[in-house]
Amino acid sequence: MEHDSSGLGFFDLLTILVRYRRPLLIAPVALGALALGATYLVKPTFTAKTTFLPPQQQGATASALASISSIAGLMGASAGIKTPGDQYVALLQSATVADHVIDNFHLMDLYKTKYRFEARQALGSSVRILLGKKDGLITIEADSQDPDLAANIANEYVAGLRELTSHLQLTEAQQRRAFYQAELERTSKQLTAAQTALQNSGFNAGALKTEPKSAADAYARLQAALTDGEVKLESLRRTLTDSSPEVQQQLGVLASLREQLQKAGQQTLPQSDADYIGRYRAFKYQETLFDLFSKQFEMAKLDESHDDTVIQVIDVATPPEHKSAPKRAMTAIATALLSGAALAFVLIFRALWRQAAEHPVNTGKVARLRAAWGRQIT
């Protein structure tokens, strides 16, 4: 088999590398040393880290976060939030929390930015918020050239999250408390009117025998439960869309209650008895409704006064003792390896070019290429 002289073989390439072994060794080492020296001119960066367990969603905070889509503008949250941990990560990434940190540490002056959005971008590039997929823990890492400031920024993110979630909880609880307070006042007036009407009708034992008291009470409770369910539906629609699971579930409950109420009211009574039973049902209805709204009102008041947003900090950020960047050894080694590879590529390419240019077949092509290159320069 004849040897193909049209290209460089393995030993030809190895010969080139051995011939230029000194430059291939000295140049990368020199460049690596220069890169190592340059890292000493860069001010070191320190990274502080805090880890905490996100709150368990209960009470008013759960309702507030359930409406996260409606307050996405406040939180800067994106779509696709799947778990409670994702929700709290979105809160931490919000403009509200970022502004809280920026204002507390005067970061616009530190970053020398004119606009607040530029300070947010600078802060965002130096902070990483990570959610553990297995343990559910949230980790905040903050970079700064000042180790104390790095620790303070990481801890302040947790403080900002506490403030934001407390505000969401308080706002939602206030709305529910005011809503049920108005319903309670309206029902109280209607209960008084129903009681007066029942008293004016006089006691009718025959009517109660026709429809026992327990049946009348049950009918009134069903009617009150239906009204209470409609009020809850109206409250849900203040923060959720009709396609949300909570609203759909409540609609199903209301449909079931209407069906039961229709079956319970099919009995016919004499006119005199029906008049008394109707007033008795109205009274029991208002009485039951007043009791239901009272409980809802007290629950809203309790949520308004109680903070269920418990953020359990596992590791508080402390000033780091050792820098995180620049990584001097890694920088020097990477520079040496890359420069050595680049130099070897240049040497092999030059050898290939010389061989191609000296080949008789390529003489004319090389001449035309050089002429074209000369015209381009001139």
Mean pLDDT by 10 residues, the chain (378 residues): 54 80 87 83 87 68 44 41 74 91 92 92 93 88 92 93 75 69 81 73 48 57 76 74 80 83 55 57 76 78 63 88 81 88 87 76 73 62
In the three-class reduction of DSSP (H, G, I as helix; E, B as strand; rest coil), residue 373 is classed as helix
How would you classify the pairing of strands 312-315 and 138-144? unpaired
The beta strand positions in 108-174, using DSSP E, are: 127-131, 138-144
Domain boundaries, the chain: 10-42+326-370, 46-170+310-315, 185-305
Q: Could you check whether the bond before residue 326 is cis, i.e. omega within 30 degrees of 0?
A: yes
SS3 content of the chain, % helix, strand, coil (to 5): 70, 5, 20
Angle between helices 84-92 and 147-201 (to 10 degrees): 120
Give the burial string for 288-320 (b: 16+ CB within 10 Å, else e): bbbebbeebbebbbebbeebbbeeeeeeebeeb
Report pLDDT for 219. 63
Report pLDDT for 100. 92
Report pLDDT for 262. 74
Confidence (pTM): 0.50
CA–CA separation, 133 and 144 (whole Å) = 27
Second-level CATH architecture of 46-170+310-315: 2-Layer Sandwich (3.30)
Report pLDDT for 50. 94
Per the CB < 8 A criterion, the answer to whether 15 and 358 are in contact is no
Report pLDDT for 82. 55
Report pLDDT for 49. 93
Report pLDDT for 81. 45
CA–CA separation, 134 and 136 (whole Å) = 6
In the three-class reduction of DSSP (H, G, I as helix; E, B as strand; rest coil), residue 274 is classed as helix
Tokens 């996260």 found at: 68
Report pLDDT for 272. 45
